């Protein structure tokens, strides 16, 4: 009997522990399910309140700018023969200037500083949407007077810089200069180096009127990489007869045809030049010549300075 009771008690204990284990397992499972469900609900809530970032704007394709070919830079050769007309000695008379302002072709006006109509001439040129530079007086060979505001050999750097500052101020500024007279000054290396360094420091250019074959301006400009151009055709009005001026113009056009470009210089006081330019313009545009201002030619020519 004692043996039977002991066996029954042990059976009940095993059953009790089985129920206890089963209940504990069920409780833990329920807690786990509740925790997972709560976590999922919180995650969904968090997702709902997170700010939605604005989609990025599509990136526009870059503008492709053609670059120069690698290697040594070279001058841009014109497709059509190019003609550049420069009109010197502007600033003394508005009446002389007027016929040139109405020309249908681009011309470059070289305006003298410190003249009676200097500033007014610049204003009229700008109103006509034409191009201008400063016509800087320089020392000639001989006794001719270059006029007020001239550069002379023997001047110091400070004198030249101050003079150019003052002269340019009378125009209200200019992108470049050319020389009025100057057969002595442009042949003097020390003087021209100071003048051209002044221009270089101010991002200007120099147009050599070539009043002497001894000019050193081109050599020094190349040494300091200054934008530079020069007259390469005869002066248009060395003689003031109409026939002479027409021959000079046609000679310049022939030069442009053979070499690609011609820089011609005439004077505002010539009574035939504006009329002849107007008369010849249709003929030479029909032949394929193009006209532009000297600033455009200087800009294209800058490729030479990068060699």
Measured CA to CA, the distance from residue 269 to residue 97 in angstroms comes to 8
Distance CA 67, CA 239 (A): 46
260 — pLDDT class (breaks 50, 70, 90): very high
Contact between 301 and 229 under an 8 Å Cβ cutoff? The reply is yes
Residues 6+ positions from 121 with CB-CB distance below 8 Å: 90, 91, 94, 97, 109, 111, 115
- What is the pairing mode between strands 176-181 and 290-292? unpaired
3-state secondary structure the chain: CHHHHHHHHHHHHHHHHHHHHHHHHHHHHHHHHHHHHHHHHHHHHHHHHCCCCCCCCCCCCCCCCCCCCCCCCCCCCCCCCEEEEEEEEECCCHHHHHHHHCCCCCCEEEECCCCCCHHHHHHHHHHCCCEEEEEEEECCCCCCCCCCCCECCCCCHHHHHHHHHHHHHHHCCCCEEEEEECCCHHHCHHHHHHHHHHHHHCCCEEEECCCCCCCCHHHHHHHCCCCEEECCCCCCCCCCCHHHHHHHHHHHHHHHHHHCEEEEEEECCCCCHHHHHHHHHHHHHHCCCEEECHHHHHHHHHHHHHC
Token pair listed for 108? 């470059």
* Weakest-pLDDT range from 23-37, 110-124, 125-139, 243-257: 23-37
In tens, the pLDDT along 197-228 reads 999 999 999 999 999 999 999 999 999 999 99
Distance CA 291, CA 252 (A): 12
The tokens for 127 are 């109103």
Residue 38 has pLDDT above 90, yes or no: no
Asked if 151 and 166 touch (Cβ cutoff 8 Å), the reply is no
20 φ, ψ (degrees, to nearest 5): -65, -45
Please provide the average confidence, as pLDDT, over all residues in the chain.
83
**Residue 96 pLDDT greater than 60, yes or no:** yes
Res 57: pLDDT: 32
Give residue 297's pLDDT: 86
Q: 72 pLDDT exceeds 50?
A: no
Mean pLDDT of 296-300: 80
């Amino acid at each position: 009997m004692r043996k039977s009771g002991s066996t029954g008690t042990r059976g009940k204990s095993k059953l009790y522990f089985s129920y206890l284990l089963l209940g504990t397992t069920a409780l833990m499972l329920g807690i786990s399910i509740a925790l997972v469900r709560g976590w999922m609900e919180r995650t969904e809530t968090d997702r709902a309140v997170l700010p939605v970032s604005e989609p990025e704007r599509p990136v526009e394709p870059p503008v492709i700018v053609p670059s120069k070919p690698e290697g040594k830079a070279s001058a841009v050769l014109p497709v059509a023969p190019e003609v550049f007309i420069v009109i010197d000695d502007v600033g003394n008379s508005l009446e002389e200037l007027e016929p040139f302002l109405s020309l249908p072709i681009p011309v470059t006006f070289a305006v003298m500083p410190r003249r009676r109509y200097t500033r007014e001439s610049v204003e009229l040129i700008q109103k006509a949407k034409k191009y201008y530079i400063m016509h800087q007086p320089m020392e000639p060979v001989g006794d001719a007077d270059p006029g007020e505001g001239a550069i002379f050999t023997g001047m110091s750097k400070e004198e030249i810089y101050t003079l150019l500052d003052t002269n340019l101020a009378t125009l209200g500024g200019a992108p470049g200069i050319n020389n009025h007279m100057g057969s002595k000054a442009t042949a003097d290396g020390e003087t021209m180096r100071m003048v051209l360094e002044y221009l270089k420091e101010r991002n200007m250019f120099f147009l050599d009127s070539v009043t002497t074959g001894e000019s050193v301006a081109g050599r020094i400009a190349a040494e300091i990489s200054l934008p530079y151009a020069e007259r390469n055709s005869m002066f248009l009005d060395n003689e003031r007869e109409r026939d002479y001026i027409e021959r000079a113009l046609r000679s310049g056009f022939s030069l442009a045809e053979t070499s690609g470009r011609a820089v011609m210089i005439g004077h505002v006081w010539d009574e035939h030049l504006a009329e002849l330019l107007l008369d010849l313009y249709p003929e030479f545009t029909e032949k394929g010549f193009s006209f532009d201002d000297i600033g455009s030619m200087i800009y294209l020519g800058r490729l030479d300075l990068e060699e």
